[in-house]
Amino acid sequence: MSFSTDQSVIISGVGSYAPPRILTNVELSQMVETSDEWIRTRTGIRERRIAGPEESTSDLAAKAAAEALRDSGLTAGDIGLLVIGTVTPDMPFPNTACFVQQKLGLGKIPSFDVEAACSGFLYTMEIARSLMLVNGYKHALVIGAEKLSSITNWEDRTTCVLFGDGAGAVVLSLVDEPDIGIIRTIMGADGTEANILCVPGGGSASPSTVETIERSMHYIHMQGNQVFKIAVRVMCQSALDILEKAGLAAEDVALVIPHQANNRIIEALAQRLGIGMERFKINLDRYGNTSAASIPIALDEAWRNGRIRSGDLVLFVAFGGGLTWAASLVKWH
């Protein structure tokens, strides 16, 4: 969707933060019945980062956002809007963005969270872009941040090997130039599959009680096989759809930054698009699946390692609980 033909929203700064504590597959194999070999061959993950007990999602988010601000050359006073994608808010309310606003010393700007699970960063970026074009905010902070270790059942080998903690952030800036930056985004959701990946307890449907806790309902529950099949389908479809809508071809894409859930899902996407794996940014081996943080952490690494140049077309594609999906095409300024 485009509101004006002579303005665009560009990514003017990128940053990320991952807690220093590394949890390896070997350590996990001492906690549950699994092995480094099983985790690596089924997912591609070797290790993940785990936040300390004193670190909340807003702490991770604030550190990533401070990096992005530095990278953009702007200061806290320049930011007019703050949006965070997360499924692990510090508290049910107030929203995590309000804590981040305070930690970064931002102005009294609109600050809110978006909950679209692993598609959260792309949903968030599109909401911020739209608000900037409609309301004229010059600069916005968009963050994906998760402390998934706080909702992971460390006794369930089918889920605990997959997830990690971290945060990534971008500064978005409004520019008086057409067709640059975020040139198109598509988003979708299929609520009929809501129950195959969820945290069933602790919300208004099943408020926390001794019983919900005893039944581990406050942790991630997932039908891995089902999620896998749908993920491959919607990731491929979203990528093909956005290219078609933008009138572009897979060959035009310089770099694909997919949600980092599973190597096999990304390989299927590469095959379907006919794009070699060398044009994919992959770092899930070191972070696992960090949900809304996964794409901006990968973007930050790609940017810092010189994998993105001016004029490059970057394709982002994600899927997650909901089930939600999204894709964005960014023409780097």
What residues are labeled active site?
Answer: 118, 259, 289
For the chain, the maximum distance between any two Cα atoms, rounded to a whole number of angstroms, is: 57
Footprint of ligand COA on this chain (CB under 6 A)? 34, 38-39, 42-43, 118, 157-158, 161, 197, 222, 224-225, 227-228, 231, 261-262, 289, 320
What are the φ/ψ torsions at residue 294 (nearest 5 degrees)? -65, -45
Residue nearer to ligand COA on the CB measure, 156 or 312:
156
Q: Is 87 exposed, middle or buried (0-12, 13-18, 19+ CB in 10 A)?
A: buried
Residue nearer to ligand COA on the CB measure, 111 or 294:
294
Give the residues across from 198 on adjacent strands. Answer: 221
> From the CB of 319, what's the least distance to ligand COA, in Å?
6
What is the per-residue DSSP string for 134-200? HH--SEEEEEEEEEGGGG--TT-HHHHTTB-EEEEEEEEEEES-SS-EEEEEEEEE-GGGGGGEE--
Residue nearer to ligand COA on the CB measure, 98 or 161:
161
> From the CB of 295, what's the least distance to ligand COA, in Å?
11
> From the CB of 102, what's the least distance to ligand COA, in Å?
30
* Closest among 96, 97, 124 to 108, alpha carbons compared: 97
Residue nearer to ligand COA on the CB measure, 303 or 316:
316
Q: Which two tokens stand for residue 306?
A: 């010189």
Q: Where on the phi/psi map is residue 161: left (φ > 0), alpha (ψ -120 to 50), or beta?
A: alpha
> From the CB of 267, what's the least distance to ligand COA, in Å?
12
> From the CB of 284, what's the least distance to ligand COA, in Å?
10
β-bridge pairing 81-85 and 139-147: parallel
- Report the distance separating Cα 131 and Cα 93, nearest Å: 23
The single-letter code of the amino acid at 128 is: A
> From the CB of 202, what's the least distance to ligand COA, in Å?
19
Residue nearer to ligand COA on the CB measure, 95 or 290:
290
Residue nearer to ligand COA on the CB measure, 34 or 150:
34
Q: Which residue has the tokens 């785990």?
A: 50
Residue 52 CA to chain centroid, in angstroms?
21
* Closest among 46, 28, 122, 21 to 288, alpha carbons compared: 46
Q: Where on the phi/psi map is residue 136: left (φ > 0), alpha (ψ -120 to 50), or beta?
A: left
